[in-house]
Amino acid sequence: MSRNDLFLRVCRGEAVSRPPVWMMRQAGRYLPQYRAIRAQTDFLTLCKTPELACEVTLQPVDLIGVDAAIIFADILLPLEAMGCELRFEKGEGPVFPRPVRDRAAIDQLSRPDVDATLGYVFEALRQTRHALDSRPPERRVPLIGFAGTPWTLASYLVEGGISKSFAHLLGWTWRDPDGLTALLDRIAEVTIAYLRGQIAAGAEALQIFDTWGPLLDEARWRRMVMPSLMRILDAVGGTVPRIFYAKGAAHLLDSLAELPVEVLSVDWRQPLDTVRRRLSRDVVLQGNLDPTVLLAPEAVIRAATTELLEQGRGGGHVVNLGHGILPMTPPEHARVFVDTVKEIGDRYVG
């Protein structure tokens, strides 16, 4: 084995000896080694310092043994590049002090040169690829780049941060859908250049996060989320595998099957075999362990992981969580999840 490429092989629909496994938010606060770096550095500075971003990207590869690395950054960074002030406040999450809520505010946004404004992410990708090349073969894993959908980025930018009701955003969809679409198109333009830059810098697969699209019913998801998303997916097609993640999207499966992606990543509210049966086309599935399972005793984690492998059988499966790993997760529990896949995964392929 010259490197561990299980993840890329499954994304491409090739046969493998066992399913690959990684975890959304795998570089993060559940790791004491991450918290040690964060004690010295605020979150945005960490994202913007390639040496540190590279170091935390590799932590779960070395400490937990995952089969893929995802570059350490945040989906909201391109909005900052467009001139929107972004802060991460302790206990509050992301804050946009000047939310965008009308066409006049859209006109104020800049059309950034991504090398000048987001080049630190590209540099972190280059350094991480280089560092991965000097790992032993089993830890020389593929590197994933990512972005959010314009809709999910807009949900933070329009609300000014995390929201319970999304009243400003959802109100805008009724009041002036074309105006909101103009905002989504502007975000899509930057996202396309940003993702192409990530590929050029060494990203070997791309994951697009649509955390908040499923707030909408299917007809309005197709009207508001899908057009700018399709432009992005088309623009990066044919280069690297595309993974689409939607949280709570069981009501959108017919539309998700139309997306030009190689992998669909779903949450835990429907078992993978049900999702596979309901989809109108063959596609590799990623997911979908409930992240709270990793708070349970080891025997429970083993049993749930075994059941997940069983449900993923009969089609390509990238084992993952259904959403990000929780900060309170004991790292040993994440290791039990990953080790279980490595130990018995060979029984669940083919």
Contact residues for 11 (Cβ-Cβ < 8 A; gap 6+): 205, 241, 243, 262, 263, 284, 316, 318
Parallel, antiparallel, or unpaired: how do β-strands 205-210 and 87-89 relate?
A: unpaired
DSSP 111-128: ---HHHHHHHHHHHHHHH
Using the minimum distance from each CB to ligand CP3, give the nearer residue, 63 or 300.
Answer: 63
Nearer to ligand CP3 by Cβ, of 23 and 348: the residue is: 23
Is residue 28 within the footprint of ligand CP3 (CB under 6 A)?
yes
Instruction: Identify the CA nearest to 121 among candidates 185, 69, 58, 78.
Output: 78
In whole angstroms, how close is the CB of 20 to ligand CP3 at the nearest point? Answer: 15
> Least distance (Å) from ligand CP3 to the CB of residue 261?
16
DSSP labels, 242-271: EEEEETT-GGGHHHHTTS--SEEEE-TTS-
- Contact between 93 and ligand CP3 by CB under 6 A: the answer reads yes
d(CA 83, CA 96): 11
Q: Residue 42 or 332: which CB sits closer to ligand CP3? A: 42
Which CB, 75 or 309, lies closer to ligand CP3? 75
Q: Give the Cα separation of 118 and 112 in Å (integer).
A: 9
Residue span 123-152 as binding mask against ligand CP3, x where in contact by CB under 6 A, dash where not: -----------------------x-x----
Window contacting ligand CP3 (CB under 6 A); options: 73-81, 103-111, 189-197, 280-288: 73-81
Contact code string over 246-285 relative to ligand CP3, x by CB under 6 A: ----------------------------------------
Q: Is 29 in the site for ligand CP3 (CB under 6 A)?
A: yes
Nearest to 127 by CA among 74, 49, 63: 49
- Contact flag: residue 194 with ligand CP3 (CB under 6 A): no
Distance CA 246, CA 267 (A): 7
**Cβ proximity of 217 and 251 under 8 Å:** yes
Residue nearer to ligand CP3 on the CB measure, 88 or 120: 88
Among 20, 50, 65, 94, binds ligand CP3 (CB under 6 A): 94
Gap between the Cα atoms of 312 and 340, Å rounded? 14
**Segment interacting with ligand CP3 (CB under 6 A) among 21-29, 106-114, 127-135, 329-337:** 21-29
For the annotated catalytic residues, the residue numbers are: 25, 29, 38, 74, 156
Query: What distance in Å separates the CA atoms of residue 265 and residue 120, rounded to the nearest whole number?
Result: 27
32 binding ligand CP3? (CB under 6 A): no
Strand partners, 266: 246
With H, G, I as helix, E, B as strand and everything else as coil, classify residue 109: coil
- Tokens 């959108």, located at residue: 252
Q: Which of 6, 8, 10, 24 binds ligand CP3 (CB under 6 A)?
A: 24
- Here's the x/- map for ligand CP3, 289-328, by CB under 6 A: it reads as -----------------------------------x----
Binding mask 162-181 for ligand CP3 (x = CB under 6 A): x-------------------
State yes or no: residue 221 binds ligand CP3 (CB under 6 A).
no
Decide whether 25 or 269 has the Cβ nearer to ligand CP3: 25
For residue 23 the two structure tokens come to: 């975890």
**Site residues (CB under 6 A) for ligand CP3?**
24-29, 38, 43, 70, 72-76, 88, 93-94, 146, 148, 162, 209, 211, 324
